[in-house]
C-alpha cells in the first residue's frame, strides 16, 4: 500500500498524450508491420476480385485496365505495394530475431533501420519502374 506522501513525489504523467510519445525506430517498425499486415489482409480480397474479373473475358479485362489507369488508383496500389514490402522485410527481420540473430539492442535498431531503408528503396524502385 502506498501512502499519500509517495503519490506527491510520483513523476509519472497523469494522462497519456499519444501525439507526444516518441517511439524508438524498433517500435515504429513493429507498429508499421502490424498496420501493413492488417492493410494487406483487408485488401487482398479486392486484388483477388480484380484478378477474377480480369480473367473472365476481354471486356472485363479492359474495364479493369481502365479502372487501374487512374492516378489515384495507382497511388493506392503503390501504397499497397509499399505495405507489402514493409511487411515482407519486417517479417524477415522478426524471423531472424526468433532464430537469435539481431537480438541485442544495437542489432535490433540496425535491423529496424534496414527494414525502413529497404522499404523506401524498393518502393521508390517500383514507383520508378511503373512510371
| Residue 90 belongs to domain with CATH number | 1.20.1300.10
pTM of the model: 0.81
The total number of structural domains that make up the chain: 1
Measured distance CA(62)–CA(126) in Å, rounded: 23
Neighbour count for residue 120 (Cβ, 10 Å): 13
Whether 61 is covered by a domain: the verdict is no
- Could you count the other beta carbons within 10 Å of the beta carbon of residue 89? 21
Whether 94 is covered by a domain: the verdict is yes
* 19 within a domain of the structure (yes/no): no
Q: What pLDDT, on the 0 to 100 scale, is given for residue 20?
A: 83
* Range(s) of the domain holding residue 100: 24-42+71-130
**Any idea what DSSP says for residue 16?**
-
Q: Is there a domain that residue 91 lies in?
A: yes
Q: Give a yes or no: residue 12 inside a domain.
A: no
pLDDT digits (tens, 9 = 90+) for 50-99: 999 999 999 999 999 999 999 999 998 899 999 999 999 999 999 999 99
Instruction: Say yes or no to pLDDT of 9 above 80.
Output: no
Amino acid at each position: 500500500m502506498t501512502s499519500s506522501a509517495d503519490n506527491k513525489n510520483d513523476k509519472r504523467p497523469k494522462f497519456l498524450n499519444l501525439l507526444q510519445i516518441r517511439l524508438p525506430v524498433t517500435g515504429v517498425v513493429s507498429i508499421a508491420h502490424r498496420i501493413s499486415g492488417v492493410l494487406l489482409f483487408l485488401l487482398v480480397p479486392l486484388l483477388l476480385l480484380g484478378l477474377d474479373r480480369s480473367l473472365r473475358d476481354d471486356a472485363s479485362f479492359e474495364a479493369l485496365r481502365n479502372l487501374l489507369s487512374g492516378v489515384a488508383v495507382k497511388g493506392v496500389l503503390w501504397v499497397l505495394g509499399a505495405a507489402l514490402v514493409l511487411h515482407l522485410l519486417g517479417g524477415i527481420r522478426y524471423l531472424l530475431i526468433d532464430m537469435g540473430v539481431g537480438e541485442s539492442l544495437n542489432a535490433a535498431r540496425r535491423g529496424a533501420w534496414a527494414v525502413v531503408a529497404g522499404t523506401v528503396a524498393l518502393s521508390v524502385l517500383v514507383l520508378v519502374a511503373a512510371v
